[in-house]
Amino acid sequence: MIQPSNDNEFYELDDPTVLPKASGFLWNERMMVQATCRGYMVAQFMQPEPAKYSHGPNLEAKSFMQPEQGYYAHHPGRFVYVKDEAGRLFSAPYEPVRARPDQFLFSVGKSSLRWMTESSGIRVQMTLTLSPSDVVELWRVKITNKTPQRKNLSVYPYFTVGYMSWMNQSGEYRPELQSIVCSSVTPYQKYPDYFKNLEFKDKTFLLADHEPAAWEVNQEAFEGEGGLAFPSAVQQPFLAKGDARYETPVCIFQYQVALEPGEEREYRFLFGAAKDEAEIADVRRRYFLTKEGGLDGFARAEAEYREVIAQGKGCLTIQTPDPALDNFVNHWMPRQMDYHGKTNRLSTDPQTRNYLQDNMGMSYIRPSIARAAFLHAVGQQHESGEMPDGILLFEGAELKYINQVPHADHCVWLPLCLAPYLDETDDYGILDAVVPFAGGKASATLFEHVERGLGWLRQSRDHRGLNFIHQGDWCDPMNMVGYKGKGVSGWLTIATAYVFRVWADICEKTGRSDRAEQHRLEAQKTNDTANRYLWDGNWYARGITDDNVVFGVSTDSEGRIFLNPQGWALLGGTANDDQRRRLIQAVTDQLESPYGVEKLAPAYTKMREDVGRVTQKHPGSAENGAVYNHAGAFYIYALYSVGERQDAYRLLRKMLPGPDLDDIIQRGQLPVFLPNYYRGAYRQFSRTAGRSSHLFNTGTVPWVYRSLIDGLFGVRGCREGLLVAPQLPDHWPQASLVRSFRGARFTVRIQRQPGVATTEVRVDGRLLADGIIRDIVPGSEYEVEVSIPSAQ
Amino acid sequence: MIQPSNDNEFYELDDPTVLPKASGFLWNERMMVQATCRGYMVAQFMQPEPAKYSHGPNLEAKSFMQPEQGYYAHHPGRFVYVKDEAGRLFSAPYEPVRARPDQFLFSVGKSSLRWMTESSGIRVQMTLTLSPSDVVELWRVKITNKTPQRKNLSVYPYFTVGYMSWMNQSGEYRPELQSIVCSSVTPYQKYPDYFKNLEFKDKTFLLADHEPAAWEVNQEAFEGEGGLAFPSAVQQPFLAKGDARYETPVCIFQYQVALEPGEEREYRFLFGAAKDEAEIADVRRRYFLTKEGGLDGFARAEAEYREVIAQGKGCLTIQTPDPALDNFVNHWMPRQMDYHGKTNRLSTDPQTRNYLQDNMGMSYIRPSIARAAFLHAVGQQHESGEMPDGILLFEGAELKYINQVPHADHCVWLPLCLAPYLDETDDYGILDAVVPFAGGKASATLFEHVERGLGWLRQSRDHRGLNFIHQGDWCDPMNMVGYKGKGVSGWLTIATAYVFRVWADICEKTGRSDRAEQHRLEAQKTNDTANRYLWDGNWYARGITDDNVVFGVSTDSEGRIFLNPQGWALLGGTANDDQRRRLIQAVTDQLESPYGVEKLAPAYTKMREDVGRVTQKHPGSAENGAVYNHAGAFYIYALYSVGERQDAYRLLRKMLPGPDLDDIIQRGQLPVFLPNYYRGAYRQFSRTAGRSSHLFNTGTVPWVYRSLIDGLFGVRGCREGLLVAPQLPDHWPQASLVRSFRGARFTVRIQRQPGVATTEVRVDGRLLADGIIRDIVPGSEYEVEVSIPSAQ
């Protein structure tokens, strides 16, 4: 029913009703599409701000990508109606007719999405892929007659365009382009925007390789009284060849096809955005009219896109007792990291913490991109050391939405995300790269940029030594805690202790022992402060408000415990052994659910005025009380960092959907990406708990990947080479993996051995004293045997 | 098929498919609803910015009201599903099931909207009214068994709530309130907005007078695979009593009813917005639980609302050879003016020109509101004389959208709109009222405010004496013409000439002859300048760009002639007799269509970079080339002002929909309001020409009303009293009217008389030398007989 296909490059779903929102996504450097099993789609491209060529039926707000995208009858989508001689109608993939298909398959692949719908012996196969860089969807629609009779069919690809503009919109068929061209001009009110908009791709086109018998460009005329499920125009022999004049445009072709038994016919389409007709003509020439080596541009683009996506592979291939884990880690996690690094979440001003973490993920797959990003980011640091709320990617981009609200945590992420980059690449030279500060007057090395960031964190503290929260920090913007300038963040204070230690290690490794010592002292001092003001007896408080109210503590009836301070207290050495036991138990008891750990509990049910915005996120609704995977991934990483491998694995496994069908159905999502959250508040609202946000923009993935590399499989880089120290869960007898690292290839076999007391690592038969493989020769292959105790 | 009902208080439509977008609208001081014959609705209320309690299915943009509102399957609406014992389903009024009813009636009234849908002998009557001031819709739903059999029915009122918020939304049934309550909190990002939002009515409720048998609050659960046309939940015996947790909420009740032949059952509902449950409880108490004089609050509110609306009546009741004209003028025009004056178009920063013109309309129906508005407006005038782009109505309101773009025409409107107020009320004392300028330092009389405004217009001119256009002027914001500071507006220059003359007359009437003389000289100078630089041989140019390109002239292939400069050249005395003949002919030949005069022609088909934004309005689409009624109304007013009564009447009749069914169908609108435009570009796109914008926000109505009073019926106020000088069209043998004026009542009978050479006016049998009825006694009734020549 839901399964990986044979080569693990696809996930397959054979019923469009069991996971109605199951989706896959594709992207290239300029665009992103998310498509569901039923044919609904969201597509965005950058010009440079996000724009659409297929819109909702009304005036949509421009916003960041929303979780739990809702679908409705006129939601944008790509469909094919098929009508037989008797007037019987169905649509592929499933919407809008919703005729129950005899056969159905939705295949979510890395570089293509495929749908197969068969009804009364007529099979429709739809395939979507992208090109490496054009704003165009590449569609194949194949119709096959599986019956023993000749069939006369009308086939109507129906690609929605929607409400393009309140000021103007129109559409018509252009025979010389074999295209439907829908036009609008982005409205502007202030004249300077006119010049900004001049190059916009404001036209939507559907370009066909076969000349259509008829067409319709007018949504209302198409539907008539029959509506989407039985459009009046489809009830006629031919579409009316209409146009749209300030009417909602749509792209619909009609093909007449007579198919002998077993015969098939394929149509190909290009659907996308263009500036003008000349650009559409150029697209047509390049994709349909020009051949090279027997292939036209369409087929070549498909192949090139497949190749580009294949290059975004991870540095880890595993084989464990859990094939679902193998499939997810080997195929889908690197792809999701690659998406983040390549597209920056289709934003022109990614939040600083997102930008840095997304590029931390790129350290494992395309480290040169990560390198450039770290240097780009510090080029926008203020001389005070403060990092901005967002990193502008283009000339003329602006800080928008939440990036206009001051958050206090951005300086934390630079050393944190640099550390694994250095582990992976040993490119310590990056620390000496000289980059100007914002404004361009002063310059400094990256090392000094990081030092200034730490200095800013050290100074942004109250008289007790706790870090001010300003109007928010990571993950759960509690914007009323400290807006008067007094409130502090428990998490952020603990996080700075961790960051001082991380940076101290890097100082040490680059021969700066004095600095290292200084940062370690600072970490200790911070931890002492945290323990003095934030330890609540069994866990750490989340913060203290402007009015000196400590919250996230045992006396609170809502928001009693927050996950983030606990995990980071493990990472930063804040918690001693006793505290560690207590806080882990508290998390297990109060935050763990069948779908992972919740970010806070009990979820807020009403505004708490001194905490703020997080309480706008109702329980059982959005992020408040959710299993917020980004926070969960950190907690897992923290558990591995202190050797709590059983707890860590249990939570990891809950985060990654497994083969359990009930579990997948509750989450509502094919296991092809990690969403930013699963619905939480499990103890209050179990009906909806576990549901996927369906939003694949999240910093979760690199931290899970890092947990696998540094923790579970223990194949982490260090200055000397590769440190091998796996932390398999008790129930795994063995695991094996291939690790690509600094140009070499390590085949690692981990085996439980009765009689082995501690982990033994052998390379080419030779036992290593400290588990570190040194003197790695690029291009070499290493065979690594790891023996672990059977009663570990 | 489409007709006024007997008492003229309603317009009726007996088929939901012939005019699918036919709509009516209701408003009170805090809200507005527009509802279609098929059940779709748009509702907005002020808190103080416009807000909704019933949303689209996706994240909607917040925007000003759009023309040609599109409808789609999940558009907000209010519907009632009815299911009989056999499972047969239909919905009232028509959507979403679209079962063709056996009988249907949509009745658009002044203070209520009514729908009747009968299917297989089951009649559903829905009635909507509002209260005078609460944000609540008052619904009656009556089910009648018209069959000879007993009927067991399930009745499901289905009121959409939609996507309330990206941050949170939920809904549940609250038995103690007998209500479904849907909750959200308006998201904010900058903390000061938290405090702004504290009093928001973020809850949507449906409150019932009968306890429901079951309910559903979850849109997706309700629809299931059956979709809107055949919801899965309705296929079950009972709704599931579900809730919504970050799922799209909806308000659906289920009633089980057994009706004997002829029996009927009525349910009443309140649907609206509330801050919290306490407010809903209060609404319940006031409307359903408290009786006074045998009526509960619901029934009393209906009566009070009817009374409030009835008070907004006009000062003119006509009886002419054209009953459709009578109906529209007597019933619907005052109502539309009242809407504008009472709601300010549901804006907190109405554009200055709109605010003044809307209140010019109030001069005829509620002059005290107009008076206050004029004084309020000049309180925001700068000391330089410049009027702001919008008038802020509330503390904390801000100039938004187009009001952030500097337009050059705002000073024109103050004297123009004051003039009819003075004619109507003779309240010249208003000119002596002292009002501060913006900033509150300096103050001046209203007279001086207007003088400063004229001074500003006089100074905002180039070396030739033509008025700068800045980034736009009235009606057709051509924002690239003068953004460099050089371009000028032909229309505005001509308009200032007219305004100087209007103001000169007012100066004269208040004994300021010197000022009057000065303004008349200025008008003459301006007219000379206009004729020197703008006359193109047969009409006046629209403007001259920054680069000295004259446009709106005979050598242009697009935008060759604009309506506004022509009409205003008649008003302002710019055109001599020869010019007048030529420009009227040019308008007739190039701009007149079966649906009225277009604003410009030929419509632009592409951007003309030196003109700008108007060319974003594609022909056959929005306003570019449209029959823009506001401009048309001015032209009609201008024609009457120079005695061109035949042309004036022809265009007036084209603007007001008549009894011709084909014409009404092309416009797509019941004749209950004047829309801001009919689709134009008739010569290019005749298919769509004439279609109504369905947008009733427009400055058209007061100018049409003024054209009737000052022109067609000639019953205009002046200092001495009432000037009677009708300009009937040739084909009318007679007309009669009742005019309310300065507290008196004038019954006027106009009759063509063979042998009469010029118009003769008799009051109570006495012939008036100059047609002016003097010494009007409030409370008196006057009988006025007007004889006009038969071959006039």
Interval B531-542 mean pLDDT: 98
Residues of B in contact with A404 (CB under 8 A): 189-190
Cβ separation A621–B60 shorter than 8 A: no
pLDDT in tens, B424-447: 999 999 999 999 999 999 999 999
Give residue B783's identity as a one-letter amino acid code: E
Token pair for A122: 């007529």
| Helix H or strand E segment including B115 | strand B113-119
**Is the bond leading into A187 cis (omega within 30 degrees of zero)?**
no
Using pLDDT thresholds of 50, 70 and 90, give the confidence band for residue B622: low
d(CA B407, CA A322): 68
Question: Does the annotation mark B326 as catalytic?
Answer: no
For residue A190, the chain B residue with the least C-alpha distance is B405
Residues of B in contact with A624 (CB under 8 A): 168
Using pLDDT thresholds of 50, 70 and 90, give the confidence band for residue B3: confident
Query: Which residue's structure tokens are 């919801």?
Result: B231
How many CB atoms are closer than 10 A to CB B194? Answer: 20
Interface ipTM above 0.85: yes
B661 to A67, B10, B25, B674: CA distances (angstroms): 49, 17, 22, 17
pLDDT in tens, A671-724: 999 999 999 999 988 999 999 999 999 999 999 999 999 999 999 999 999 999
Q: Please give the share of chain A, as a percent, with pLDDT higher than 90.
A: 86
Whether A194 contacts chain B with CB within 8 A: yes
Residue B5: pLDDT over 90:
no
Residue A477 pLDDT: 77
Which of the residues A476, A610, A647, A710 is marked catalytic?
A476
Q: Which of A183, A185, A616 sits opposite B185 (nearest CB)?
A: A616
Whether A225 contacts chain B with CB within 8 A: yes
Residue A622 pLDDT: 56
**A632 in Cβ contact with A597 (< 8 Å):** yes
pLDDT in tens, A566-623: 999 999 999 999 999 999 999 999 999 999 999 999 998 888 888 887 777 655 455 6
d(CA B151, CA B155): 12
pLDDT in tens, B369-419: 999 999 999 999 999 999 999 999 988 889 988 888 899 999 999 999 999
Residue A102: pLDDT over 90:
yes
Residue A140 pLDDT: 98
Using pLDDT thresholds of 50, 70 and 90, give the confidence band for residue A189: confident
Using pLDDT thresholds of 50, 70 and 90, give the confidence band for residue A227: very high
**A541 in Cβ contact with A565 (< 8 Å):** yes
Q: Which of residues 658-687 of B touch A (CB under 8 A)?
A: 679, 685, 687
Interval B251-278 mean pLDDT: 98
Cβ separation A98–B225 shorter than 8 A: yes
Q: What angle do CA B734, B739, B742 make, to 5 degrees?
A: 155
| Helix H or strand E segment including B311 | helix B297-311
Using pLDDT thresholds of 50, 70 and 90, give the confidence band for residue B532: very high
pLDDT in tens, A637-661: 999 999 999 999 999 999 998 788 8
Residue A8: pLDDT over 60:
yes
Who's near B791: CB < 8 A, 6+ residues apart? none
Who's near A270: CB < 8 A, 6+ residues apart? A136, A137, A138, A139, A205, A206, A207, A283, A284, A287, A288, A298
How many CB atoms are closer than 10 A to CB A48? Answer: 15
Who's near A463: CB < 8 A, 6+ residues apart? none
A274, burial (CB in 10 Å: exposed 0-12, middle 13-18, buried 19+): buried
**Higher-pLDDT residue of B165, B583:** B583
Task: Round the average pLDDT of chain B to a whole number and report it.
Answer: 95
Task: Round the average pLDDT of chain A to a whole number and report it.
Answer: 95
Whether B246 contacts chain A with CB within 8 A: yes
Residue A620 pLDDT: 46
Residue A7 pLDDT: 65
Cβ separation A471–B61 shorter than 8 A: no
* pTM, full prediction: 0.95
Q: Which of B68, B72, B190 sits opposite A74 (nearest CB)?
A: B72
Q: Which of B246, B405, B679 sits opposite A622 (nearest CB)?
A: B246
User: B119 by DSSP, 3-state: which?
Assistant: strand
Cβ separation B183–A227 shorter than 8 A: no
d(CA A375, CA A436): 10
Beta bridge partners of B107: B12, B114
Q: Which of A68, A187, A194 sits opposite B480 (nearest CB)?
A: A194
Residue B616 pLDDT: 77
**Is the bond leading into A48 cis (omega within 30 degrees of zero)?**
yes
Residue among A584, A573, A542 nearest A559 (CA) = A542
Residue A6: pLDDT over 70:
no
Which of the residues B134, B423, B473, B476 is marked catalytic?
B476
Strand B214-218 versus strand B244-245 pairing type: unpaired
Whether B557 contacts chain A with CB within 8 A: no
CA atoms A417, A423, A426, A432: torsion sign: positive
Q: Which of residues 752-781 of A touch B (CB under 8 A)?
A: none
Interval B472-500 mean pLDDT: 94
